[in-house]
Amino acid sequence: MGASTSQVSDLAENQSLQKLIGTESISENDPFWNQLISFTITSPTCSSDAKLLEEAIIPLAKTLIENNPRSGNFGALVRIFLARTKELKISTECQDQLFIWQAHNALLLVRCLLKVFIREMSEEELQLQFSYQERAPGSCEPGGEDLLKELVCNLVHLIVEVPLLDITYSILFEAVTTLLVLLSYQLFNKEVLRDGYVYKCLMSGQCLELTSRLVKTLLYNFIRQEKSPPPDTQLFQSQAEGGGILYGLASGVASGLWTVFTLGGAGSKPGLDQEQNPLPLSNQSLLLLLVLANLTDGPELPNAYRQAVTCFKNTQDTSSMPSPQPHTFQINFNSLYTALCEQQTSDQATLLLYTLLHQNQNMRTYMLSRTDMENLVIPILEILYHVEDKNSHHVYMALIILLILTEDDSFNRSVHEVVLKNITWYTERTLTEISLGSLLILVVIRTIQFNMTRTRDKYLHTNCLAALANMSAQFRCLHQYAAQRIISLFALLSKKHNKVLEQATQSLRRPVGTDDGAALPDYAQDLNVIEEVIRMMLEIINSCLSNSLHHNPNLVYALLYKRELFEQFRSHPSFQDIMQNLDTVIGFFSQRLEQAGADLSVERVQEVIKKGAVALPQDRLKKFPELKFKYVEEDQPEDFFVPYVWSLVFNSAVGLYWNPQGIELFSMDSS
């Protein structure tokens, strides 16, 4: 980075900053403001830079908190920024880089101070800090204007009105970041916040009117995936080299104050953190969108931002029917779909995909109609495949996405028609050619097995099995390895069942009086859970055999090869009914293989199975209700999603650092 710690410490002695945080009121017409906001800086784009900047700002901000009731200088700084935002759009059209640059700097300074204020005071106290203004020499009193509300509205207006260009990239990024900071009171509260002043500002008046435009703009920022422009497009190299007005304004302050923070700016080499985060505006916009969409409903009005997320339509939708939903808009679904496919390595993109699939019927219908679903499904499967490296929430979201997709029969059919070549990330076995459906089955089974040996999470088991169950009636041409893994999973469950049964039996035989005070495991409960899973696996196998036996000779082969696994469950009261069909299939094909002779080759066995599959009368198999599971969000989903979203902001927001001490919403382990 472009600064050392010792240079950062020089900020405390800087005369301009000392004047800003001092007790003396500074008139808004004072040339001081022009000098103060003419520094050379780009917003920090990695947490290490942000941490250094924040540590330097904290003592200054605390002094300002003490002196601002007398000076009103914080309010003056905000008004300096607001005065410039009124002409930003015109400045952009006129390519007035100086004006945009100064507005950005003013906002960056406001945001840095606000971040400390929010940690140090309540929202009511924050409003007071905005309200103090100069009345007469030496005295400041709360003013009548609502400066905080005006700032919130101006930020929203700026984001939706100012076009995204190289010269506006930084100020748009800073506007999005400042809104995130203003909403960050949630981080310091254990309970989900259901109101608050900033919340009310966003849900009323001008902000409410701009809801659909804000959501649309944030989505397009995500879609466009614009990289941060080169530093010289923001630092006006040509003017500086010519000794123009910009250089003259900047030099007085920059040499003593802000050049230590040309983080990622001119003359500095990008560090590793910055290189890993090349899309700051896209990332920050997505985080803000998720925060807004997961705000709770108000006492009288539902969350307008969630409404906008759930009802937007495709630009190709030519329907003239007006939408009954408020805050609706149109967006290019193809572009959004492409961005979602490309960005699934991040938690936040996966959470957006989940949100759209679950809540926006228009987007869900569009995704399921795509003929290139593999572009979306494969990244989701990769998340599950690398379960060891992912946090549990990311895995849950990926799994629920699969469950939602498998609720659709056309999806379950089409995944078996897509043939994939050389899946390099699947390393257990070389897969030179496999259907998307078989790959999905392999990855879900692997996730179940991982969960059985590591996390032992019943919720994960349930959703994995539900996805397989939804697909089972449409299993087609299962890959030999996928069929083997289905039976191998059953073998693993069978072995676990026998082990728990043996442990339960031994515990019952313990002599009276040998209780050493240790609590005995609840073997009955363990046995019940395992038997539920075994029952589900038998139902999945049965569903495939009943509905598409002739399409799946490899499953029949695997079933026959391991037929002894199923014998112990034939007389078990929990499985007798479901075992009837498996017995019928095993008996029918065993008989045909005996008739075909001894010492059959693998190829000959497969030939007998294929012919037998056509010959087996369907009426010999008992009909069971179709397996269908539907994902339903639990009651009060905000208890899960609000902490999750803010943990993503905490960990992934570009250029923002929060000290873990004091974070109340989630534990650091869960973040």
Decide which of 218 and 267 is more confident.
218
Query: Any long-range contacts for 586-592 (C-beta under 8 Å, 24+ apart)?
Result: 586/559, 586/560, 588/612, 588/616, 588/620, 589/556, 589/560, 590/560, 590/563
Check pLDDT > 70 for residue 142.
Answer: no
Check pLDDT > 90 for residue 309.
Answer: yes
pLDDT of residue 301: 82
The two three-digit tokens of residue 405, written as one number: 């997709």
| 190 Ramachandran zone, left/alpha/beta (phi>0; psi -120 to 50) | alpha
Given pLDDT bands bounded at 50, 70 and 90, which one contains residue 41? Answer: low
pLDDT of residue 10: 62
Among 84-98, 284-298, 645-659, the minimum mean pLDDT is found in: 84-98
* Mean pLDDT score, 556-574: 90
pLDDT of residue 236: 44
Q: What is the mean pLDDT of the chain?
A: 85
Given pLDDT bands bounded at 50, 70 and 90, which one contains residue 182? Answer: very high
pLDDT of residue 272: 37
Given pLDDT bands bounded at 50, 70 and 90, which one contains residue 552? Answer: very high
* Mean pLDDT score, 118-138: 83
User: Would you give the distance in Å from CA 99 to the centre of its chain?
Assistant: 35
CB 277 within 8 A of CB 213: no
Decide which of 499 and 5 is more confident.
499
Please tell me the distance from the alpha carbon of residue 304 to that of residue 203, in angstroms, as a whole number: 7
Among 440-449, 483-492, 590-599, the minimum mean pLDDT is found in: 590-599
Given pLDDT bands bounded at 50, 70 and 90, which one contains residue 586? Answer: very high
The two three-digit tokens of residue 468, written as one number: 């397989």
pLDDT of residue 161: 94
| Per-residue model confidence as pLDDT tens digits over 486-526 | 999 999 999 988 888 888 777 776 665 555 544 556 677 77
Check pLDDT > 90 for residue 78.
Answer: yes
Among 157-161, 299-303, 415-419, the minimum mean pLDDT is found in: 299-303
pLDDT of residue 670: 55
The percentage of residues in the chain with a pLDDT greater than 70, rounded to a whole number, is 86
Check pLDDT > 80 for residue 8.
Answer: no
* Mean pLDDT score, 449-467: 85
- Output the furthest CA–CA distance in the chain (Å, rounded): 109
pTM metric for this prediction? 0.89
